[in-house]
Structures are given as C-alpha cells and as structure tokens.
Copies of this chain bind each other. A is one copy, B any other.
Amino acid sequence: MSRTAPGPRRERARRGEGDRLRAEILEATQTLLESGGGAHAVSIRAIAQAVGCTPPSIYLHFTDKAQLLLEVCRSNFERMAAETSRAVDGIEDPAEALKAVGRAYVRFGAEHPEQYRVLFMERPPEDIVPMVLTQLDDVTGFAQLLSTSRRCVAAGLFASDDPVAVACVLWAVVHGLTSLLITKPSFPWTERDEAVDRCLDAVCRGLRTPVA
C-alpha cells in the first residue's frame, strides 16, 4: 500500500444508524479485493482508509479480521450461487441446463477473479473455522452442478448413474478452466465462452451413453 495519506474522512453516522459503517466496511473490502492487489491488499488499515474511518472503528462491527473476511466470503458464495442458479432458470433441456451452469460458473470466476481466488484457490487461513467454509462451498459451486447433473442422470443422458461422480468431472473442468483463466491470463484461450463450450461439449459427449 505504501505511504498512504490519511484520505478523506467520512461523516459520522447519525444516532441509530451505526450499522451504516458496517455495510460500508463490507463494501470497501470487496472493492479492495477487486482492485489490483487481491487478497494481499486487504488489510484492516487499508479498509479503514478506503472507508474513511480509523482502524479501531472496524472492531466496533467485527470481532476480528477473520470474521470480517468470513462475512465477505459468505456473501460472495451467495452471489455466485444466485448467478449460477439464475442461469438455469427456465431451461428445460437438462443438457442445455448443464452447459448454462458451466458458462455461468466460469463467467463468475472470470468477472470476479479475486473473489474466486479467495473462495476456491487459496488455503483458508487457519483461524477461519474450516467447518463453515466447507458447508458453504458444499452449497455453492458444486451444489448447482450437482443438482443439474442429477437432472441429466435422471433423464438417462449419461452412461453413469452416479450424479456425484458426474458432477465431480464437470466441476474439475469448469474449475480448471476458471482458475487457469485467472492465473494464466496470457494464455491463448481464444474467446472465453467458446473455450467453455469446447470443454463442456467434449466432457458431456464423453459422459454420454455409448448407444448414440
């Protein structure tokens, strides 16, 4: 962060509106995460400066840096779940739905790379309760893939009758694509949606019942 001047002060919230700062802190944390430096740029001091308050004020609303980050993760998991779930809305063909989920998954990661990094690529810091994160990512990322896989398996689209195994393969491919797009952006991936489709097409065709 280096030699940062105090920066402008926000005006103090009025009585009864103390929770406003809480929201501003969460928002500033997201903004800092997105901006260049990634998770490394997110420090209590940097957040305070971005919000326009002092570091101790943050402890008025969060017990810990860990708790603050956990809150941010939780909201990002929810955003991602909302987007992937919206992607399948109204799509009846299970095979099409599967592709839609995959595309939405990769899009979320590509559009929010730093958030995706934190959620799926970094070791969770020891102080964040692992249980919570596990529950959360059971819900997100994988969950939508799993439920759509279930539809496909039920429709007899795949040779396997195990939706979990199917979803694992799909997860590997969409996560692989997403994280490579993030860490190796200089790579010749051509157009993003095209790359996603090529991968998903191949995998889905490969998973199909060999009858066709």
Residues of A within 8 A of B (CB): 38, 117, 120-123, 134, 137, 164-165, 168-169, 171-177, 179-180, 183-184, 186-190, 195, 198-199, 201-207
* A164 surroundings in chain B (CB, below 8 A): 188
Which residue from B117, B168, B175, B184 sits with its C-beta under 8 Å from A195?
B168
Which residue from B183, B202, B207 sits with its C-beta under 8 Å from A123?
B183
- Chain A's interface: helix, strand, loop or mixed, by majority? helix
Asked whether A169 lies within 8 Å of B122 as measured between CB atoms, the reply is no
* A175 surroundings in chain B (CB, below 8 A): 176, 179-180
Asked whether A121 lies within 8 Å of B202 as measured between CB atoms, the reply is no
Q: In the complex, how many angstroms separate the beta carbon of A152 from the nearest chain B beta carbon? A: 13
A175's nearest neighbour on chain B, judged by CB, is B176
* A165 surroundings in chain B (CB, below 8 A): 190, 198
- When A206-B207, A207-B202 are in contact, do A171 and B179 touch as well, CB less than 8 Å? no
Complex Cα gap A117–B186 (Å): 18
